[in-house]
Amino acid sequence: MAETLSSEHYSPIVIDHFNNPRNAGPMEDADAEAFVTNPVCGDSMRLFLRIDRDCNGDRVAAATFLASGCPATIATSSVATTMVRGRSLDEALTLTRDDFADAVGGLPKSKVHCSVLAAAAVRNAITEWRATHG
């Protein structure tokens, strides 16, 4: 049965990010990228980051995403791109699934796991970038 987007289940912020995802789409010449998926439900997310290096350290200059899945996955992916932008890589790595879930006004109990995708994508993209850029 197809999932319905009901305000009884989702916060207005989830509905807003689902209907108007921020920073959706691929990024040309991304510096870092990560693809994560939940094998149980099949939701997936691809995160693209542009990373600036300067004397103040490495920083996320821009973030975009592609996601396939439920409204909670789309919304937490969307909000994650807005939250990592402008942060140092160390700061971005401190963001947790709870931070993303809180930023969309909380998630229904059955959807809390959806915020894991965004958190894992941020962690994987930055970790992989650091492994190749020192």
Alpha carbons 46 and 26: distance in angstroms, whole number:
9
Q: Is 87 in the site for ligand FES (CB under 6 A)?
A: no
Q: Please give the distance of CA 18 from its chain centroid, rounded to a whole number.
A: 13
41 catalytic residue (yes or no): yes
Are 93 and 37 a contacting pair, CB within 8 Å?
no
Q: Report strand pairing: 32-37 vs 57-68.
A: unpaired
108 DSSP 8-state letter: -
Q: Is 114 in the site for ligand FES (CB under 6 A)?
A: yes
Considering only CA atoms, give the Rg of the chain: 14
Residue nearest to ligand FES (CB): 41
Q: Is 38 in the site for ligand FES (CB under 6 A)?
A: yes
114 catalytic residue (yes or no): yes
Q: Is 9 in the site for ligand FES (CB under 6 A)?
A: no
Supply the minimum distance, in Å, between the C-beta of residue 69 and ligand FES.
5
- Identified binder of ligand FES from the candidate list 19, 25, 26, 41, rule CB under 6 A: 41
Please list the active-site residues: 41, 114
